[in-house]
Structures are given as structure tokens and as C-alpha cells.
Amino acid sequence: AQSVTQLDSHVSVSEGTPVLLRCNYSSSYSPSLFWYVQHPNKGLQLLLKYTSAATLVKGINGFEAEFKKSETSFHLTKPSAHMSDAAEYFCVVSDSNFNKFYFGSGTKLNVKP
């Protein structure tokens, strides 16, 4: 069975410092993995997607994520946080063999001035 765990419900960083949002998954197959961002009162927007082409995936707004199969992780990082990064972030794992996908419970990122 597939599942996805976002290890932190809230993360707080200072502007200009690195961001790390953690995501672990369990999968019996080679999954596709996604990160989405949700700003207040908005829908989710795709940040980046992993589909086995390269383990380090670059997304929009300076975010990137690294797929580590041995650790079953897909953590989201950004070298320097900006105030506009304050939002909620969702990790999603999909299993194309069964056309199923699973959302994590979300991590709220707070960026302090």
C-alpha cells in the first residue's frame, strides 16, 4: 500500500535562511512524486514533479527536491526563504499502475522578517 508522511505540520524560518520541508513515502513500485503549494484562499499550484528522469528536480520559485529511493524520501528545499514563500505545502505520491494518488497532510511554512 502507498502512503505519504509529511514529518512537520509547521515549519518556521527567517527570511533569507534555508527551507527544508520533509516528505517520506511508502511505495511498492516506482512512484511519481509531486510537491504543491497553496497560498491563503487559493487552490494548489504545482511546484515540481519527479517521474524517474533525474533524482534532483528543480521547480518554480527556486524550490527543488531530491528523490532518495534508499531513504524513501522526497524532501523540498530552497536555499533562501522569501516572505512570499509563506504558504502550505503538500507532498503527493502516485502509483500509475493502479491510477491512485495520495496527499500528505501538509506543512505550513511561516517566514519571519
Partner 1 sequence: NAGVTQTPKFQVLKTGQSMTLQCAQDMNHNSMYWYRQDPGMGLRLIYYSASEGTTDKGEVPNGYNVSRLNKREFSLRLESAAPSQTSVYFCASSEEGAQGSYSNQPQHFGDGTRLSIL
Interface residue with partner 1 among 71, 100, 110, 112 (CB under 8 A) is 100
Cell numbers for 71: 531513504
Least Å distance, CB 101 to partner 1, is 4
Q: How far is the CB of 23 from partner 1 (least distance, A)?
A: 12
22 vs 84: CA distance, rounded Å? 20
Contact track, partner 1, 18-57, x by CB under 8 A: --------------x-x------xxxxxx--x-x------
**DSSP structure class, residue 101:** E
Q: What span, in angstroms and rounded, lies between the C-alpha atoms of 91 and 36?
A: 7
Dist CA 1 CA 66 (whole Å): 22
Which residues of the chain form contacts with partner 1 (CB under 8 A)? 9, 32, 34, 41-46, 49, 51, 90, 94-96, 98-101, 103-106
